[in-house]
Structures are given as C-alpha cells and as structure tokens.
A = this chain, B = another copy of it.
C-alpha cells in the first residue's frame, strides 16, 4: 500500500486587532488603515438590520467614502439567523459582482455578527470581514472568538464554523442608543469574566457598578476592554473549544434551559445566564468550593444591576432536568457543568450529584 502525507501550512493571519473607543465607527483614518492592512478590494458590503441602519449606516458609509458600499438589510431578530437568510445574502453578493477581494462588515448585535461571519467564511470559500458590534453583549462576547453560525429548527448555532474577523471595531458611543434592558443584560457577561477568570476584575465591578450603570465613558471603556482581554486570552489558549474555552459557558447550561422553557426572546440571554450563574455559584457552594458569603456577594452584584438571580417561578426542577440533561445517557454519565473553585476561578466539573442540582434549583431564595 502507498501512503502519502499532505502537510498543511499554518493559517494565514495569526492575529487581529480590537479597537475600543468612542466614535471609532466614524474614524475614516482608522478604517483606511484597517482596510489597507489586508489589501481590501473596493467592494464592501455592510450587513445590518433596519433599526441599526437608521442609526449608524450613514456614518459608516461616510467613513468608507473611498469604497463602493453595498448595504444589505436583514430583518431584526434571532429567527432570521438561518440558512435561508444566508441564501438571500449570497444572491445579493452575486448580483453585485462581489469577489474574493471584497470585504463584509457586520454592523449590529450578535445575530448580525454570527450570520455575517458565517457568510464571510463560506462566500467563495472565505473573504475578509470586520465586526462592528453595537450591543454590549456583542462587544464583550460574540464579536471576539471567531465563532460564526446560524440556527436550524433542531437547535441554536448548530451550523457554523470558526472564522476570525480581520478586525473588531468597538464603538462605545453606540451603547447610548441601546435599550436599558439590553445594556443590563450585557453587563451579565461582563460580570461573568470576573467570576470565571479574574477576582480583581470582579472586585473592580463591585466597586464601580453604579458608574457603569450610568454609562460613565471611562469606566465603560475599561470594563469592555478588560472583558475582551479575558475573552481573547481564553480563546487564544483554546481556539476550538477543546478545554479551557468551556469556562466561558458559566451559567449557560442553566440559562439555556430557562431560555428554551420560556421561548427564545422572552428572557434575554444575559438575564437567563445571570440566574444561571447564581445557580452555578450555589452548586459550587454545595460542593464546598465557595462559601455562603461569596455566593451572597455574587448574588448581590447581579441584583444591583437589576438582573434576575433565580429562574422563572413556575419552572420546576423536572423541567430543568429534562431540558439540561436531554437524553438519558447524559443523566447516567453526567453533564459537564462550569462551576466555581473560587471567585475568579472556574472549572468544568462532573463532581456534583443530581440531588445537589435539585436542591439548588428548588431552594426558595
């Protein structure tokens, strides 16, 4: 038998910048610099939704005055993050004669970012794209890390790939137009970074949470930057989610159960994982890893933001169990949950008993 070996080169670009500031979106000089950094062709598509377009599309088009800009509007909402939306965008790109040197820009929240990233990954086997996240959640979470994808009827984010943007442009001034409830939900992910990775950042948040809620520009810049630093560090260590990256899912298994039970959109993602992180903290306490005072400190911080610290009143343990431990196998073998060894130190663990999960979920708080 003949055996050959196909050797692969390293991936082409090994790093990408995240720019964080007020008004980066309108910084024409910076845009020129970024576009030149990867020899972008003249054709640029801005993928966004009608609401965001009304607020920022004109500004962004002005900043890209030296390019031929094609705006592509996607209806707002998670339900449009699907394959048929991609087909529509592919058609638009084809008809406008886009080629491999064309660039896509995602202007919006997580739905726009995930969808645009996946389109960029697959259009002509990959073109360059830039993330311009306009929600706090997208700024600190989905725009960094290279996860792209869409939903299918069988599940969220089931289809997608890992594909990194050429740059992320975080314009903090876009947060002023974000509904307050969405801003608070975004803070939930910010707090998560302190809990999983950095006790000092957690303490900083405890101290500065009122200023953050008032959207103090300097505090906000620090919180967003530090969140991105942690996410980038975790992602760099484990790009394809084989180990460490899983800690980014603190509170998410509980949270997804709440989101699914209530129907997506009823609870915001950040709200559901806020309750989920409190449950994870309580389960960690059951295991003797953290104490009551630490659980209270965590719970208190979420309360000060105005985030929920327990799930919907009418959701029973059995419902949680069936949603979290979907098939029988998972119940036998155990489901990996992200838990806290300490504030600032999360681990993936199977070391809990089902009875402890039950206790935490049914406790009256």
Hey, which bits of chain A sit against chain B, CB under 8 A?
1-21, 24, 83, 86-87, 90-91, 94-95, 97, 121-126, 144, 146-147, 149, 152-155, 157-164, 168, 221, 225, 228-229, 232, 235-237, 239-240, 242, 327
Which residues of B are found within 8 Å of A153, using beta-carbon distances?
91
Beyond contacts A6-B232, A122-B149: 13 other A-B pairs, Cβ-Cβ < 8 A, are A1-B20, A4-B225, A5-B15, A5-B232, A6-B144, A6-B235, A6-B236, A8-B11, A8-B16, A8-B239, A10-B10, A90-B154, A126-B240
B94, B162, B232: the one contacting A126 at CB < 8 Å is B162
Chain B nearest Cβ from A231, distance in angstroms: 9
Which residues of B are found within 8 Å of A152, using beta-carbon distances?
87, 90-91, 94
Chain B nearest Cβ from A100, distance in angstroms: 9
* Residue of A8, A158, A163 with highest tally of chain B CB at under 10 A: A8
User: Complex Cα distance A264/B3, Å?
Assistant: 34
Which residues of B are found within 8 Å of A94, using beta-carbon distances?
152, 154-155, 158
B1, B90, B146, B240: the one contacting A159 at CB < 8 Å is B90
User: Complex Cα distance A214/B128, Å?
Assistant: 48
User: Complex Cα distance A120/B18, Å?
Assistant: 30
Question: Is the beta-carbon distance between B232 and A4 smaller than 8 angstroms?
Answer: yes
The 10 A-B pairs with the shortest beta carbon distances in the complex, nearest first, are A94-B154, A1-B21, A2-B20, A4-B18, A6-B232, A7-B236, A2-B225, A7-B15, A125-B160, A9-B239
Closest B residue to A329 by beta carbon equals B97
User: Complex Cα distance A87/B87, Å?
Assistant: 12
B10, B159, B161, B327: the one contacting A11 at CB < 8 Å is B10
12 contacts between A and B (CB under 8 A): A2-B20, A4-B17, A4-B20, A5-B16, A5-B232, A6-B18, A6-B144, A9-B237, A10-B11, A12-B240, A12-B242, A90-B154
Chain B nearest Cβ from A10, distance in angstroms: 5
> How many copies altogether?
2
B2, B24, B87, B125: the one contacting A161 at CB < 8 Å is B125
B2, B14, B146, B161: the one contacting A122 at CB < 8 Å is B161
Question: Is the beta-carbon distance between B5 and A125 smaller than 8 angstroms?
Answer: no
